[in-house]
Amino acid sequence: MARFIVEGGTPLRGEITPAGNKNEALPCIAAALLTDEPVTLRNVPRIRDVRNMLEIASALGAQIEDLDPHTVRITAKELKNDELPAALAKEIRPSLVFAAPLLARRKRARLGQPGGDVIGRRRVDSHFLALGELGATLDTSHGFTVTTDGLRGADVILDEASVTATENVLLAASVAKGRTVLRHAASEPHVQQLAKLLIAMGAKIAGIGTNMLTIDGVERMRGTDHTLLGDHMEIGSLIATAAMTHGEVTIKNVVPDHLRMTRLVFGRLGIDTEIRGNDVFVPARERYEIESDIGGAVPEVKPNIWPGFPTDLTSMAIAYATQAHGVVIVHEWMYDGRLFWVDTFTREMGARIILADPYRVIVLGPSELRPAEVRSPDIRAGMALLAATLCAKGKSVINNIEQIDRGYEALDERLRKLGAKIERAA
């Protein structure tokens, strides 16, 4: 297994451009299989999850062409297979969104058990309940097999505002017969971008950016050219990392509207940020103060569905808060396993954190973090631990960085350009 060797204590300084949005790339790859014409995706992050998704598309019969390091052309003239490779599917949760193109073109999708980060229970019910409304039938006797005699529009309400379930319905409804109204839909930026890609392919979708989408199915989708936005999760992570090291960093090519809640929450935790055109600037500060609630109450960081604070940034909020003066409660109610990494953080690096229950931690800052050898348990906790080692003075080792590589492209190389002392070792 690969590892990062980090010499912490150096403030990050300079400019960095975020990679393309991972969570946009994955469903867009599946969307390309809705048509037999070429779909070109640009600003694609070269990370493990994207590679796995492209390999699944190839196994199903799509032709994959790398036009340059961050541009891929997908041509699915014919889908020769309706079964996802089990070894790849179990590596990546969004493999579920291949259900829609397979149902549309093959009438059957054999999906296997989806994988992804181990951060607690992650339901798949929303996908199959919604696809059932669109005319699909689920068989669980051997994994997940979904069949249909023809997708048809319906009035669908999701039992939770699941991002991937919303994406699955968007793909399926775009080629279903008739109108679909999708209620309680997720509206994250990557969901909006997927809808825009589908419109460019010929879909008829109204309500983008809201929690109710109206989709009128079309008989045929066409090829198109689509550029992915920068990853707002990576941008949020970089903001917190820059602050933790007391650095001064400009993050290029952001979408300011997508950062409003991140900047609001981080601002209350003491991080100043400034929007400069399409860039966000993080100034250097010697001291960070957590802002108490009115009346002096301990503040709470609580993720929520979009446009709430993203759950994928709770680990970074925890790591950063160890370097700010004050106390904050982080209430991660979405995933019952996302906070368990803080035990390692506390024990090995000296962070002052109380794990109140599986969903809540109390962070008492500041902590003088010490260097340590730790293991990345998942994408987001791995990034938080990396930020912590960049902050801790001395030599640290992060093992299992394959988890970090799943979500962040060449992070060590790009952080070195900001002055970070980080090396990758076998």
- What are the tokens at 378? 């998942």
- Which element (helix H / strand E) includes 394? strand 394-399
Q: Which of 73, 172, 160 is nearest to 131 (CA)?
A: 172
3-class DSSP state for residue 151?
coil
Question: Phi/psi class of residue 374: alpha, beta or left (left: φ > 0; alpha: ψ in -120 to 50)?
Answer: beta
Question: Phi/psi class of residue 399: alpha, beta or left (left: φ > 0; alpha: ψ in -120 to 50)?
Answer: beta
Q: Which of 297, 287, 367 is nearest to 328 (CA)?
A: 297
Measure Cα distances from 91 to 51, 118, 128 in Å: 11, 11, 20
Strand positions, DSSP E, 287-392: 300-301, 326-331, 353-357, 360-365, 373-375
Any residues with CB less than 8 A from the CB of 296 and at least 6 apart, and which? Answer: none
- Which element (helix H / strand E) includes 29? helix 22-31
- Which element (helix H / strand E) includes 74? strand 71-75
Q: In angstroms, rounded to a whole number, what is the distance separating the alpha carbons of residues 98 and 109? A: 8
Q: Is 117 a catalytic residue?
A: yes
3-class DSSP state for residue 141?
coil
Q: In angstroms, rounded to a whole number, what is the distance separating the alpha carbons of residues 197 and 344? A: 41
Q: In angstroms, rounded to a whole number, what is the distance separating the alpha carbons of residues 385 and 321? A: 13
For 133, what's the count of Cα atoms within 13 Å in the CB-facing half-sphere? 23
- Identify the active-site residue in 117, 231, 312, 405: 117
Specify whether the CB–CB gap between 171 and 218 falls below 8 A: no
3-class DSSP state for residue 233?
helix
Q: Using CB atoms within 10 Å of the CB of residue 286, give its burial: 0 to 12 exposed, 13 to 18 middle, 19+ buried.
A: exposed
- What are the tokens at 230? 């920068």
Catalytic residue list: 117
